[in-house]
Structure 1
Amino acid sequence: MAQPGSIDTLLLAGLQAEEQAFRDFKTALQAEQKALIAGDITALTAISTSKLKQVEHLNRLAAQRLERIVTLGLTADRNGMEKWAAQAGTAATEAWRSMLATASEAHQANQINGTLIQNHLQHNQQAMSALLAASNQANLYGPDGQPKNTPPGGGSSRGIIGKA
C-alpha cells in the first residue's frame, strides 16, 4: 500500500492535470461556439472528434482521482475530496477549488453551445416547415395540366373564359 504522502502528491498532480484538461476542453468549447455561430460544419466535425477524446481523458483523470481518494479511506465523491484537501493543506485546497472553478467554466460554455444548437435546430425545423408548405402550394396543376383546386361549383375561371 502506498504511503499517504505519495498518494497526496499523486492527487495534487492529478488535480493539476485535470484542471489543465478542463482548460483544454473549455478552449475546444469556445472554438465550437465560434463554429456554431459561423455555421462551419467542417470545423464542427473536427471539434466534435476532439471533444470526444477530451471527455474520455477527463473521465480517466476523474476515475484515477477517485481511486486514489478511496485508498486514503475517504469516500469517492466531492465530500471525500473536500476532506482530503482540508487535511492535505493549502496547496491541495487551492488545486481542488481551482479545478472545480475551471470545470464550472467549461460546463457553462457547454450549456451555451447546447442553447446555440437548440436554436439552430429550431431555425432549421421552421425553415423545413416553410419549404414544405410552399412546395404543397406549388402543386397547383395536376398531371393533366388542369388546376388541382377548383372553385366551388366545379368550374374554373379558365373554363368560363374557354366557353365564352
Structure 2
Amino acid sequence: MSASLQALQSSLDTELALVQRFIDILKAEAEALEQPDHSEALNSSTRDKNACIEQLLEAGRSRDDALRDLDLDTGRAGLDEAAAAYPFLQDSCVRLFELSQQASQLNAANGAMISTYLKHTQQALHALQPLVGNPGLYDASGRPGQAKGQRKAITAG
C-alpha cells in the first residue's frame, strides 16, 4: 500500500473516532438539556464540542490532503472516488457518511431544543417587562436590555 493510501486510511480512522466522539458529546448534551439544572453540563458540552470540532476540521484537512495526493477530488466526491478505486476503503467511507449523518441529526435536534428554551425565555422576559418597567431585565448578552419597540428619550443640554 502506498504512503498516500496509508495516510488516507489513517485520516479516515481518526475522523471516524472523532465523529463518534462528537456523537457521544451530542448525546450527553441532549441528556443535559432534559435536566432541570443543566447549565454546567451544557457549558462542559460546549467546550467539548468546540474542541472536537477543531480536531474534526484538522482531520478533514488531512483527509483532503491525502485525497489530493492520490489525484482525487476532496470532500465527499473524493471519498466516493477513493472507495470506488480502492475497495478496502469502502467500509470506512460508508461508515463515515453514516456517522456524519447521525451527528448532523443529533446536532439539529439539540439545536431545536435550545432554540425552544431561548424562545420561552424571551417570551417570559417580554411578559415581565411591563410589570417591572424594564430596568433589571437583561438581553441575551447579559447586559441590561431595552424592551423591543421602546426608545430611550434623548435630551439635549
Fold shared per TM-score above 0.5: yes
TM-score, normalised relative to structure 1: 0.76
Give 1:115's aligned residue. Answer: 112
The yes-or-no answer on 1:82 pairing with 2:76 is no
Corresponding residue for 2:58? 60
Structure having the larger proportion of residues in helix: 1
Over the aligned positions, Cα root-mean-square deviation in angstroms equals 1.3
Q: Is the 8 A contact 1:85 1:93 kept in 2?
A: yes
Asked whether 1:31 is paired with 2:28, we answer: yes
Alpha-carbon distance in structure 2 between the residues aligned to 1:80 and 1:125: 44
* Gaps in structure 1 of 5+ consecutive residues: 137-164
Task: Confirm whether residue 42 of structure 1 aligns to residue 29 of structure 2.
Answer: no
Give the match for residue 98 of structure 2. 101
Q: Distance in 2 between matches of 1:50 and 1:78?
A: 26
Runs (4+) of structure 1 exceeding 4 A deviation are: none
C-alpha distance in 1 between matches for 2:39 and 2:73: 43
Look at both structures and tell me which one has the larger radius of gyration over its CA atoms: 1
- Does the CA-based 8 Å contact 1:16-1:99 persist in structure 2? no
Partner of 1:131: 128
Local SS of the residue matching 2:72? coil
- The percent of aligned pairs where both chains have the same amino acid is 26
Q: Distance in 2 between matches of 1:19 and 1:104?
A: 12
Question: What CA deviation, in whole Å up to 9, does each residue of 1:16-59 have, x standing for no partner?
Answer: 21111001001101111111221410111111111110000000
What's 2:69 paired with? 71
Which TM-score applies when normalising by structure 2? 0.79
